[in-house]
Amino acid sequence: MKKVLWIAIIGLTAIILGAGLYIGLVKFEREKPAIKFSSDSRYITQKLSFQVEDQKSGVAEIKLEIVQEGRALSLLSEKYAKGTPVVEKSIPMLPLPKGLKDGDAQIRITAWDHSWNHGNQVSLEKPVVIDTKPPQLNVLGAQHYLNLGGAGLITYTASKELAKSGVQVGDLFFPGFSIGKDRYLAYFALPFDSQRDVSFAVTGEDHPGNRIKISFRPILKAKTFKKDQIQISEGFLKSVIPYFTERDASLKGSPVEIFLHLNRKQREIDHQQIKKICQETTPQPLWSGTFLRFPNAKPMASFAQDRTYFYNGKEIDRQTHLGVDLASLGQSPVPAANTGRVAFAGPLGIYGNTVVIDHGGGLFSMYSHLNRIETKAKNEIKRGDILGHSGTTGMAGGDHLHYAMMIHGVFVNPIEWWDEHWIHDNLELKMKLFEAPAQSAAQVQEVQPQKAVQKQTKAKKSSRR
């Protein structure tokens, strides 16, 4: 009997101690809720996001206020059930609530938890700036000329610091970069297959999220792109396909089936990788002057060449050549076209051993089918430095250099960058506009574009890939 009594007493004591411990640790806990803003921005933007956390008694209540000139305006007041350890909120801030204006203000968040005696309370205040005025952009230069498949440069100034800006060409966006106080530039491209009615605009967004868009109309010049017929021979397949099957055991099928896989799917994979490589760039231009052409080399294929592939007299594929093929003596040294930083050096699918150089501002050059590479990623490169030697790696039908240029991953015609007059008229003079007297954005003229008709020449037969 005594044993049973002692067990009951011990059990009751344990219950009392447990309840006391629960009340002491949970109900009378002294730990305040934690408040954290999702952004460090000092500006009021489209949304204000924050998190309140209390892992013990849970979040009980949250109040959000914005204070300006001593007046507090309530934006949120919510209560929460017990057992709510985390609350995440995203509150629309624009358009501004009535009673607020541009200028300094404070965001104040107050939170309570579910502990006894009205809960633990904490307040967090954050100084902010209310700015609802969009930036003003001054696009320099009244007229802009652009070749189909070519490149362009826009220079502009802004009335305030921009968080994001650039040139919109149809659905493509080409980021701009700051090159000094209120000065910006953006390289952009007109893809070779663009429609003649494609739209152009310079866009800007400040740190609070205010945006501006200024349309402009370059004079578009028609460009003739060649056609070519390429005969896929058994000899070509025997020399090229082993390069890929030795490196990828998953490639199955007949030689021509593997060729079609490489020419279609692998080509697309490679182009996606090139776009990824071109996402990281030095903001300021690193290059100067004309770009160096592969010395003593004969042109074998041109940019945007429309290629039709035949096998045993039957058409099997069609692709566009997005570079220039140049052939010199076998394994000739390949120089860097201009100053920059090596963004990539290594094997790249159908392009074989490849070097990609970042010239700054989103401008890149690419050197492919190299027999060997004599540089590495992140190296600083000067114009004329040897990158490697020409070769037949990848899907090359003979020793040559495949040379390409890209703006933010969009291929452009390399020939322009070899032309001293084009560099001067379309790029260097644009940079000098920063030194000219200020011109208001309203003065920027819109010029109706000429028709960008893509002319085709008579197809010629070729054996080079």
pLDDT, tens digit (0-9, with 9 covering 90-100), for 15-25: 655 555 455 54
Domains and CATH numbers, the chain: 30-130 (2.60.40.10), 225-412 (2.70.70.10)
Task: Answer with the residue of higher pLDDT: 54 or 46.
Answer: 54
pLDDT band for position 421 (cuts 50, 70, 90): very high
Q: Which of the four pLDDT bands, split at 50, 70 and 90, describes residue 270?
A: very high
CA 370 to CA 373: how far, in whole Å? Answer: 7
Residue 107 CB coordination number (10 Å): 20
Q: Is residue 7's pLDDT more than 80?
A: no
Q: Report, as an integer, the average pLDDT of 274-295.
A: 97
Contacts of 196 (CB under 8 A, 6+ apart): 220, 449, 451, 452, 453
Strand pairing partners for 68? 71
271 Cβ contact list (under 8 Å, min separation 6): 322
Q: What is the pLDDT of residue 15?
A: 60
- pLDDT for residue 404: 99
pLDDT at 377: 98
Whole-model pTM: value is: 0.83
In the sheet that holds 183-189, the strands lie side by side as 137-139, 151-158, 183-189, 177-180
pLDDT tens digits, one per residue of 446-464? 333 333 334 434 444 444 4
Residue type for 90, please? Answer: S
- Spatial neighbors of 163 by CB under 8 A, at least 6 apart, are 205, 206, 207, 209
Question: Is residue 185 a contact partner of residue 155, using CB atoms and an 8 Å limit?
Answer: yes
Q: What is the pLDDT of residues 169-186, one digit of tens each?
A: 999 999 999 998 899 999
Bridge partners of 50?
Answer: 37, 89
Q: Is 129 within 8 Å of 105 (Cβ atoms)? A: yes
User: Does position 440 have pLDDT exceeding 70, yes or no?
Assistant: no
pLDDT at 265: 98
pLDDT of residue 346: 98
Q: What is the pLDDT of residue 45?
A: 85
228-255 average pLDDT score: 96
Q: 418 phi and psi, to 5 degrees?
A: -90, -10
Backbone dihedral angles phi then psi of residue 14, each to the nearest 5 degrees: -65, -40
Confidence category of residue 95, pLDDT binned at 50, 70, 90: confident
In the numeric block, which tokens belong to residue 99?
């009673």
